[in-house]
A = this chain, B = another copy of it.
Amino acid sequence: MEEGMSEFCIRGGNSGSATGTKCGRWNPTTEQVKVLTDLFSSGLRTPSTDQIQKISNQLSFYGKIESKNVFYWFQNHKARERQKRRKVDNDVIRSENSISINSFTQNFTQLYQVSEPERVMETLQLFPLNSFGESESKNMRVHASDQCRDNTMFSYTVGEQMDHPPLDLRLSFM
């Protein structure tokens, strides 16, 4: 079944991300993950094809990557963020409601901290006209227009350790 695995990727510029393993699937480097994460926390959630292309192109500097990897990354990240929030919320609710057998153990149960308080905004210029506050209301989903592919301009620059060209995702027609 798995004979067709094939493909070794030497992981050229890998710098400590994961154990350099033979990969049949994309294994992002830490830099790639950082950039993607920054983009995400900057509000980018569903990049357009153009943006995907540009991001992918830029990230290829750090190692092998394809557009679909970027696409999937955003899909997964978004979905899991949502899923996590949902599960955690429910857990908190449940634990508040339930009797809690051992009292104090459950006292400071899930502090959880859904990561990413914010702390970003290094040098990202983006969204000329859209707040991207990432919802804060737990059970509500309806925030008007999640983010309508409006982010026409999306310029990203890493401030630290510049061994790569700055990411500029301006769309073509701008």
Contact = CB atoms under 8 A, between A and B. Distances in A.
Interface of A: 1, 3-5, 7, 9-10, 12-13, 33, 37, 49, 52-53, 56-57, 60-61, 64, 66-68, 71, 84, 86-88, 90-91, 94-95, 98, 101-102, 105-106, 108-115, 130, 138-146, 148-150, 152, 169-170, 172-174
B67 A87 contact: yes
Nearest to A34: B1
B105 A87 contact: no
A174 to B, nearest CB: 5
Given A57-B98, A140-B142, 15 more contacts: A4-B112, A7-B109, A9-B105, A49-B169, A57-B94, A60-B94, A61-B101, A66-B91, A67-B173, A68-B91, A68-B173, A71-B170, A142-B146, A148-B149, A149-B150
29 contacts: A1-B86, A3-B113, A3-B114, A3-B115, A5-B112, A7-B108, A10-B102, A12-B101, A49-B90, A49-B173, A56-B94, A61-B101, A64-B105, A64-B106, A64-B109, A66-B87, A66-B91, A67-B90, A68-B87, A68-B91, A90-B139, A98-B130, A141-B141, A142-B142, A143-B146, A145-B148, A146-B148, A148-B149, A148-B152
